[in-house]
Structure 1
């Protein structure tokens, strides 16, 4: 649910923070007071199109921030956030959007900078805004199949997952078959390219770890003279006449002569003897190394040429010898497929044919389950419409058999919602309904059903009750309150019947101070609530009759809400 909304320098709002409660929150106020501005702010906060025109006159930027509390840990929004690397703080999500006077936006989710696209995707999982003239998911023919599948529940979901797994294999094989059946010229070019690449890598006879060995050898060759000189100097220092080993030999002999006389000298004599023989061995090893050392300038050229070849191959095929060899295996596999493509085509065609047989079975199973769900949905919608005094309306899910073509992620079905609002008129696509009052009631009927399945945490209705009155107004009020039992609902309304059903009633008003206009917001409770309902009924003048009627309306609404929540 949307727990708190903060708005600063937005339209005629200077600075405003409002907390929302669970259930139904109704926003009322005079026309032009700024009710729709609140909804506009939420719309932009969730990724709607913005511009510098929204910035309050004289300010550099508009600031919008919303705090959402999501109690369901498996809500789809958390996966979306994880997929884009946004940290999740238990059940809290904070959306923020700043609109600069240049028209550009800075968007954040839980403090992380995101694109407007990511903000819009996350916002769509949290808020569903519906205005009387605004295109929504329910008014999109392409979305109807997804809504029906949500309504159908777990049984269809299991079948659909099995179908989608099979469909993924089907797409993979179709793609590979398409590659193999390209025109001959393209295939010939690919064969030539792949053959050249494989031969080039094979001729290099690369070995894993070879580059490190070559680099080490190059280092030694480049420093040959330095190494030779230092080793020769070390050998001379140890073993040449009157050098280190001669002096240590004299010390060894002297200590050995007195080790029998002084026991303390025995261990010292052995240590010196060990040092003498170790240095002698080291000198012999140095001599052997020096005798074998021979500078070969051609070998340095060989090493450098080999390293240059490896660098060339790395630029073409991979960042390391391991990656180059992996690329060779991949290209060799593709080359084998192309060279033996006739056999491959025959085998793939047969696999695709077998998958299509299974796909058809799964797709038909999907269709059967969707038709059962469509019948149940139609009954549920018809029941909702009757409660909204549209007894003559008929609703159906139309399966467009003539539009069936290739398999897609939804099977073979093409469908849309159809409705007829008057006796004797043929059903028409839901998207073609024009009457404002009928559209409002139809939308509420659909929302009553789908709000339980869509997972949206908050639904906003922006004056969807326009054009209705009397018993229809009361029915709409109860329907909105019923939707609020499954989702948080924020509703802008001019109907006292809707306001009476609110769990939270906020009144918006406009004030002028210092030659500037300000939008103010006040929570209406107790006696003031009855006064606001009375004003909504009669206008500016509140009479004892309208006040009494308002109190009765609030009492009736309280009883009706108890019934709805216990239903």
Structure 2
């Protein structure tokens, strides 16, 4: 569960720390107070898309940090271990900073991670269900993804194998198309590659040649300076009254001194050895001076060769190695083009083999989906009855794509099209959900689906962001009871404008905003029992709280308590 959330310099929030409890926590307050901003902050903490616009005006960065407590066998612990994130006492601290320039800095338990890793971890902790998901339900392409999400455990391995085969088939089809279409373009490529390959081969490049030539050019360019430095060094060491002469005298003096004081023997040996080493180095220095030579012709040749290599770099790569790699690549391409008939035949045989395996995996995916769809339909019917849609008939239709060539009937997710159908009244035929469901019905269907999914995903928290839009009366009460049902044994955070949902809350947070020093600030208060009643009364009346609305609010709370005790 989400134990604690800290938000700093985010939108209209300057600094806010909220502690959360298990069960159902309802967030209410006037429009614009900051309820959805808190949910937006949680969404960013879980890896949502960030923007510099979220940073509070006048501040350098926004900071969001959340403490999550998970069960010992929660899937996120295995995922964290795979990613090298240390977890102690089943606690995860997620942190995300957004800077003024839009950069994100993400951490999990103090370790810097990418936004992708933060999202991967976050998706296993919290599911945010908002009004935008109603739109997802109204898009038929999302229906397949929902079924796959429900059957994720059974589908995972098979779908992964299918996707690999699908990629192989796509690559092979592309290669065959390249080799069988546009003869003129291929002829032009052959001419171009032959010219480029000949140009590179004529240059007779060797690895690291440019680096070695640049080193030699530098040496030749500075040969006069090098000669003078070496000559001066040698002259300072060798000759009468020079370095070695003085050192030789010191050796002689110490040799005689050691006959007087035996303790000087080791010092004499050390200096004697140093003398011989220095003398040998001096003779090597003399030989090196004699080898220094300025060769204008060699320097001119190097300059010409480097210029030739530079011309090739402009065309084929930034280094000699890249040029040689490019040559190897186009040589393979050229070989393929020149023997295209053989290559096409090879690719077709490979594609046929991949296609056979792909069909097997696609059928396996379809079978798993059909089995999962049967279970999902049954569960959704059960949930819809509890949401006062007793007469509704729900169906998931899984069909092959038709009217296309065989390879076009297969897509990245298999060969199926999936669409939800529904009949909301007795005697009416099943019709496409996207065409017949009202806003209130969509809310209930989505809540039914989320109720089922939350029990399959092992999430620590579920967030409902104003999912009760467009409902009232007994339907509102049913939604309130369903949301509370999801919260049993887990954690649900819910933004709501329905008094029925607020009455069902285990914890009620009231969001307000005030203005001081010409700035707006969001504040959060945990309501007492009396304050809960007053807030529910405000939600009922909309304007003025009266004794009658208070009485109604108390009745709602008593009904909610009775429902909880019954469960």
Which TM bucket (shorter chain)? Answer: 0.7 to 0.9
1:506 aligned to 2:509? yes
In structure 2, the partner of 1:423 is 426
Partner of 2:441: 438
Correspondence 1:285-296 to 2 at 5 A: 286=286, 290=290, 295-296=294-295
Is the Cα–Cα contact under 8 Å of residues 106 and 115 in structure 2 kept in the other structure?
no
1:300-319 mapped onto 2 (5 Å cutoff): 300-319=299-318
Q: How does 1:4-43 map to 2 (within 5 A)?
A: 4=5, 6=7, 18-28=18-28, 33-34=30-31, 37-40=34-37, 42-43=39-40
Question: Which stretch has the larger CA shift, 330-339 or 212-221?
Answer: 212-221
- 1:78-157 to 2 correspondences below 5 Å: 91-95=92-96, 109=106, 126=126, 128-131=128-131, 135-157=134-156
Match of 2:472 in 1: 468
Q: Which residue does 1:459 correspond to in 2?
A: 463
SS at match of 1:93: strand
In structure 2, the residue corresponding to 1:91 is in which secondary structure?
strand
The CA distance in 2 between the partners of 1:492 and 1:427, in whole Å, is 33
1:553 has 2:559 as partner: yes
Is 1:68 aligned to residue 66 of structure 2?
Answer: yes
Q: Secondary structure at the residue paired with 1:442? A: helix
In structure 2, relative to structure 1, the CA distance for the partners of 1:507 and 1:295 (3 Å cut) is closer
User: Structure 2: any 5+ residue segments left out of the alignment?
Assistant: none
Corresponding residue to 1:542 among 535, 539, 547: 547
Partner Cα separation in structure 2 for residue 489 and residue 383 of structure 1: 21
Q: Alpha-carbon deviation of 1:118?
A: 11
Q: Does the 8 Å contact 1:461/1:491 carry over to 2?
A: yes
SS of the equivalent of 1:414 reads: strand
Q: Which moved more, 1:225-234 or 1:489-498?
A: 225-234
2:176–2:344 CA contact under 8 A, matched in 1? yes
Equivalence for 2:485: 482
TM-score (norm 2): 0.75
Aligned residues: 540
Give CA-to-partner distance per residue, 1:10-34, whole Å, 9 cap, x none.
Answer: 67x89865443333112345xxx23
Aligned to 2:373: 374
SS at match of 2:547: coil
Aligned pairs for 1:393-408 within 5 A:
393-403=392-402, 405-408=408-411
Deviation (angstroms), 1:276:
8.5
3-state secondary structure, aligned to 2:192:
helix
The answer (yes or no) to whether the contact 1:452–1:486 under 8 Å persists in 2 is: no
Contact 2:106 2:113 in 1 (8 A): yes
After superposition, the CA RMSD in angstroms is 5.3
The answer to whether residue 416 in structure 2 is matched with residue 410 in structure 1 is: no
Larger radius of gyration: 1
How far apart are the structure 1 equivalents of 2:275 and 2:115? 75
Q: 1:77 to 1:195 in 2, by over 3 A?
A: farther
Tell me if structure 2 keeps the 8 A contact 1:45–1:64.
no
The partner residue of 1:526 within 529, 545, 553 is 529
Q: Is the 8 A contact 1:500 1:557 kept in 2?
A: no
Cα displacement (A) at 1:394: 0.8
Alignment of 1:104-253 (within 5 A): 109=106, 126=126, 128-131=128-131, 135-227=134-226
Task: Report the CA distance between 1:391 and its aligned residue.
Answer: 1.4
Q: Does the 8 Å CA contact 1:26/1:490 hold for their aligned counterparts?
A: yes
**Which residue of structure 2 aligns with residue 388 of structure 1?**
387
Q: Which residue of 2 aligns with 1:357?
A: 356
Q: Distance in 1 between matches of 2:230 and 2:518?
A: 93
1: CA distance, partners of 2:140 / 2:206:
59
Kindly provide the CA deviation profile for residues 472-521 of structure 1, in whole angstroms up to 9, marking residues without a partner as x.
Answer: 34322221112224764333445443223212113456889999999765
Q: Deviations over 1:60-115 (max 9, x none)?
A: 68997644334467559989xx89x9xxx9722235668x9xxx977665599999
Taking structure 1 as reference, are residues 496 and 228 closer, same or farther at Cα in structure 2, changes over 3 Å only? closer
- Give how far 1:412 is off: 0.9
Task: Give the unaligned 5+ runs of structure 1.
Answer: none
Question: Please, what TM-score do these two structures have when normalized by structure 1?
Answer: 0.75
Q: Which moved more, 1:207-216 or 1:407-416?
A: 207-216
